Amino acid sequence: MTATTVPEAATGVLPRADGSAKYSHAGYIVTGSVNGPIEAQRRDEHPYEAHVDVIVRPAAGIGGTRERHLESILQSSLAQIILVKNFPRSLIQIVLQIEHSPENDYVNTKLVQANLNISIMPALFQTSVLALLSAGVPMKAIATATAVALSHQNGTKQTIVDPSPREVETAQSVHVLAFTSHDELLLAESEGHFTVNEWDDVYETARKVCCRPTTQKEGIAMVLDDEDASGPDMRHFVRSTMESKVATDLHWK
């Protein structure tokens, strides 16, 4: 399996959902659909704001505790960027179907895994943001997410952006960070052993991936083509995906 190093996405892939997106990056392929605002069930209804419902469905097997945990993390961070106060008593439903996750060729995968695989979170997060954009759900900001692994190899520290399953296995700690388009930290999940200084390093690395500034040159937005820049430029990726979506939507003009 050749893991794509460059993120790829398509919006509006499902004809019947309000908004949908297919996202593939670092070996993960996720399809997401967004329906909303729709009528909420009585138990989910909130008098002042919309209820954001996130459903994560694994590629094989039925969702368990692991998926519920991922859902709760995604739900709380997405509810921060969606303008939930605009739609009281309604529901915004986000369904994320994992289609493929990278496999470790040296281990036979088990269907039911108790441990949490947090390195899938950026893919899920990015899919839901793109699907929300495709559905036209009003949001405060657009968010970008990335996974960073810290590993110690013969005494030297190393930060790996978008680690493979094998790298996750050998890494000392794995972190998932998400930033809004105002460069604010939205989500920080960590797993493993690390010090505060190490976390600061991770923060800086993730920030470089998620919030790379686009330099203005004579009124034209240009992306810095840094040689030393590590990892993909997520913000530029979301922007170019939406640009192509708008271009196809306005094709008739």
Instruction: Output the smallest distance, CB 228 to another protein, in A.
Output: 31
List the structure tokens of 54: 């996130």
- Which segment (95-103, 151-159, 182-190, 226-234) binds another protein by CB under 8 A? 95-103
Q: Where do runs of H (alpha helix) occur along 82-195?
A: 121-135, 165-170
Closer residue to another protein (CB): 2 or 154: 2
Q: Which of 12, 46, 49, 55 binds another protein (CB under 8 A)?
A: 55
Min. distance of Cβ 105 from another protein in angstroms?
4
Window 4-43: contact mask with another protein (x via CB under 8 A): ----------xxxx-------------x-x-x--xx-x--
| Pairing mode of beta strands 51-57, 90-100 | parallel
Return the sign of the alpha-carbon dihedral for residues 13, 39, 57, 233.
positive
Q: Is the peptide bond before 37 cis (omega within 30 degrees of 0)?
A: yes
Please pick, from the candidates 6, 60, 114, 196, the single residue that binds another protein as defined by CB under 8 A.
60
What angle do helix axes 196-210 and 234-249 make, rounded to 10 degrees? Answer: 30
Nearest-angstrom CA–CA distance, 78 and 139 = 9
Binding site for another protein (CB under 8 A): 1-2, 14-17, 31, 33, 35, 38-39, 41, 55, 57, 59-62, 93, 95, 97, 99-100, 103, 105-108, 110-111
